[in-house]
Structure 1
Amino acid sequence: MIQRRQKRAPIVEALEEFKRARIMPFDVPGHKRGKGNSELTDFLGERCVSVDANSQKCLDNLGHPVSVIKEAEEIAAEAFGANHAFLIVNGTSSAVQAMILSVCKKDDKIILPRNVHRSAINALVLCGAVPIYVNPQLNQQLGISLGMSMADFEKAIIENPDAKAVFVNNPTYYGICSNLKAITDLAHKYGMKVLVDEAHGTHFYFHNSLPLSAMEVGADMAAVSMHKSGGSLTQSSLLLTGENINHDYVRQIINLTQTTSASYILMSSLDLSRRNLALHGESIFARVIEQAEYAREEINHIGDYYAYSKELVNGDTIYDFDITKLSVNTLNIGLAGIEVYDILRDEYDIQVEFGDLGNFLAYISVGDRDR
């Protein structure tokens, strides 16, 4: 029954019906299905601008969904094993901020690693919560920050038993995972909510060879960047909640900062990408894993470059590793990661995700093919 429901894409179905209805638009957006700007229509295509619509009865409203968006969120929750899922069109940054704003108020404490995304820090500025930092250890050879050690995390909890929440990266940009299950269990023992930044972990929900996901270990909330590894359009995201979260209250918090002019192009991309992952995610990410492992092996055969993987796992600060991440250390060849980044882009027309002083990251995901 659930698998049959995953074949649905309620928002897309509503948009197709909307197009067939040929409704005369005297509402926004002002381009009126592309008729007001032929250059825009030529650039984006008629199919795209024709579904750039405003909220209305047949299309529901993201701020207070009662029909097709509500159903799309319910189906997404089922796909990710969550109690509730919210469609986010302001990027995962707004999902991260909604998590923190929904559980922390002024002067509340929240335990978090120092290597969090700027959106988490911005949320603290907005709500006035007090950060209790856990300093992640460093891998000196690679020059990357790791996950939280359980000893450091437990020390922070014992010293701050009044903290309202803990915040965890799953994984880091480089693919490093902390012991999310143990962190979640300990935080819950002390009555703290567990908020997980899974901006780079969408795929964890769809293949059992990958690290555990937030919902799988019983975390309370997770911000999931569907557009990064899940295949939806840039800026589209999901906010997942567990059974101990009041989703009506979370909706109110989301509506404080999320646009009232939600893009149906972004929402339909979430709908279609969720369907694709729910129906084909296991085979998709099996291929992604195979591609990443092949690339790692070939890079390591070159010499001096080091594409690292699960050999780093130490059961603590690197509890697990996301093997879809092609993270490559460049220091042994005498080049900074950012220099290799520039060489790949400028001389070989290859765009990788980022470069730092000692590493670059190539992102392998839904859209990659062998050739």
Structure 2
Amino acid sequence: MDINRQQKAPIYEALEEFKKRRVVPFDVPGHKRGRGNPELVQLLGQKCVELDVNSMKPLDNLCHPVSVIREAEELTADAFGAENAFLMVGGTTSAVQAMILSTCKAGDKIILPRNVHKSALNALVLCGAVPVYVNPEMNAKLGISLGMEIDQVARAIEDNPDAKAVLVNNPTYYGICSDLRAIVKLAHSRGIKVLTDEAHGTHLYFGENLPVCGMAAGADMSAISMHKSGGSLTQSSILLTGKAVKADHVRQIINLTQTTSASYLLLSSLDISRRNLALRGRESFARVAKMAEYARNEINSIGGYYAYGRDLVNGTSIYDYDVTKLSVYTLDIGLAGIEVYDLLRDEYDIQIEFGDICNILAYISIGDRIQDIERLVGALQDIKRLYSRDRTGLLSGEYINPEVAVSPQKAFYAEKKSLSIKDSVGCISGEFVMCYPPGIPILAPGERITKEIAEYILYAKEKGCSMQGTEDPAVEYLQVLA
């Protein structure tokens, strides 16, 4: 990485120069630097709306960058150790889908764990690729799925030598990492590309003593949520590619679905955040890891909670662990994770990332302070004292192995009928059902609805999980294949 070059922020600098020129706008957006919408100015501030501009020659164009955006992407590739980088304004959803759509076409096989984000399965609906699931082991106590074991990946490749790609979560939402280097070596030996969903792994590129990042492990493509742990604005992300990937083809694929009216607020936030991480990321993420470890120790000292970390590592299904993730098991105090999540928000004004059936996740990043950690720990201590109860009757488990009956694309576009959740048992789902966050489907199009899955959906609803994916807003009925 060229530190001297990394001090530049070409998109941000071009915007600042543009602002000085006081250009009269006869283009979009129609608010005309905020003059047409004073309430928007009041909400966002004058500087923000003045920088909400359209693509023009001095500011380049994200669909076909030739100047400042091109330079920003080159700086991003350099900072992340990639051959090429693409700035994404459709979130990491767009980046994950671009990875899959540029690697797989209709009928192609892709090897992936079933606990992927819905964006990956949506990509299969769009392109018609066929999933070959490596069903990871479960941690029976924590109720979470673990990493992809190298032996499982080897068997999947042996059974499907014509597969085009292997997709790996690095890390999972809960911080668990697979042996990425070994998976890359194995897949490449068979001519198969490796794609990494690093929505929760931006910091792996800049931290010390953290799990290996996708590009360093030799992955072909990596989708990065810069807005999660990297500090950019929500919805801004990055797609990285290695030497064996044809970048021009990837750009064409991205342009199939990405907006032609890219937000310069998002683009400049990526530019500034990349510069910040390149110059200060190592020290910033060392502080993040230290805060997370401190919080983990403090929460475990309360009793009843289990804030897990590197103690889980077993060298196979949990090859490594991202210590910046503060995942906490709550069932031993008699409360589901989603119940603790709700209490923290409603009673203590603390918003954490998510709660599922067994766990909560507090996202620690470069913007956190030690006093915030202390407040979280104090609230958890209070919740245990005031609300803990017997855990009898609480379900355990975040993931149920599915039976894939037909491809996601075929099921999504098939003729369907609507049935109540209880009556849908035995049928094939034509839609997604998931708790969001984290957005990992309980049920995906093409999967058979079992009694266990139906009961889990109803239980998650009852506990207060935010359910998404169904045509029915109330999630009382499911669309199944007719």
TM-score bracket for this pair, using the shorter chain length: over 0.9
Instruction: Provide the C-alpha distance between the structure 2 equivalents of 1:366 and 1:233, rounded to a whole number of angstroms.
Output: 13
Instruction: Provide the C-alpha distance between the structure 2 equivalents of 1:150 and 1:83, rounded to a whole number of angstroms.
Output: 26
Instruction: Provide the C-alpha distance between the structure 2 equivalents of 1:257 and 1:316, rounded to a whole number of angstroms.
Output: 37
Q: What is the match of residue 227 of structure 1?
A: 227
Instruction: Provide the C-alpha distance between the structure 2 equivalents of 1:311 and 1:2, rounded to a whole number of angstroms.
Output: 36
The amino acid that maps onto 2:168 is V
Matched, 1:251 2:237: no
Extract structure 1 runs of 4+ deviating beyond 3 A: none
Matched, 1:167 2:167: yes
The amino acid that maps onto 1:107 is G
Instruction: Provide the C-alpha distance between the structure 1 equivalents of 2:165 and 2:290, rounded to a whole number of angstroms.
Output: 37
Q: What is the match of residue 110 of structure 2?
A: 110
Deviation string 1:179-212 (CA, Å, 9 cap, x unpaired) is 0000011000000010000000000000121100
Which structure 2 residues correspond to residues 1-371 of structure 1 after superposition, within 5 A?
2-371=2-371
| CA shift for structure 1 position 357 | 0.8
Deviation string 1:48-93 (CA, Å, 9 cap, x unpaired) is 0000000001000000000000000000000000000000000100
Q: CA RMSD in A?
A: 0.7
Instruction: Provide the C-alpha distance between the structure 2 equivalents of 1:356 and 1:343, rounded to a whole number of angstroms.
Output: 13
Deviation string 1:7-52 (CA, Å, 9 cap, x unpaired) is 0000000000000011110000000000111110111001100000
Aligned residues: 371
The amino acid that maps onto 2:167 is F
Instruction: Provide the C-alpha distance between the structure 1 equivalents of 2:210 and 2:153, rounded to a whole number of angstroms.
Output: 23
Instruction: Provide the C-alpha distance between the structure 2 equivalents of 1:195 and 1:366, rounded to a whole number of angstroms.
Output: 26
The amino acid that maps onto 2:99 is M
Deviation string 1:105-137 (CA, Å, 9 cap, x unpaired) is 111110000001101001011111111100011
| Unaligned segments of structure 1, at least 5 residues | none
The amino acid that maps onto 1:253 is I
The amino acid that maps onto 2:131 is P
Instruction: Provide the C-alpha distance between the structure 2 equivalents of 1:148 and 1:336, rounded to a whole number of angstroms.
Output: 26
| CA shift for structure 1 position 151 | 1.2
The amino acid that maps onto 1:315 is G
SS at match of 2:271: helix
Deviation string 1:249-290 (CA, Å, 9 cap, x unpaired) is 000000000000000000000000000000000110011011
Q: TM-score, normalised by structure 1?
A: 0.99
2:208/2:286 contact within 8 Å kept: no
The amino acid that maps onto 1:95 is A
Q: Percent identity, aligned pairs only?
A: 71
| CA shift for structure 1 position 370 | 1.6
Instruction: Provide the C-alpha distance between the structure 1 equivalents of 2:72 and 2:289, rounded to a whole number of angstroms.
Output: 28
Deviation string 1:112-171 (CA, Å, 9 cap, x unpaired) is 000011010010111111111000110001111101111111100111111010100000
| Unaligned segments of structure 2, at least 5 residues | 372-482
Q: TM-score, normalised by structure 2?
A: 0.77
SS at match of 2:41: helix
Instruction: Provide the C-alpha distance between the structure 1 equivalents of 2:151 and 2:218, rounded to a whole number of angstroms.
Output: 21
Instruction: Return the index of the structure with the highest Cα Rg.
Output: 2
Instruction: Provide the C-alpha distance between the structure 1 equivalents of 2:192 and 2:266, rounded to a whole number of angstroms.
Output: 33
Instruction: Provide the C-alpha distance between the structure 2 equivalents of 1:286 and 1:132, rounded to a whole number of angstroms.
Output: 37
Structure 1 window deviating more from structure 2 (144-153 vs 8-17): it is 144-153
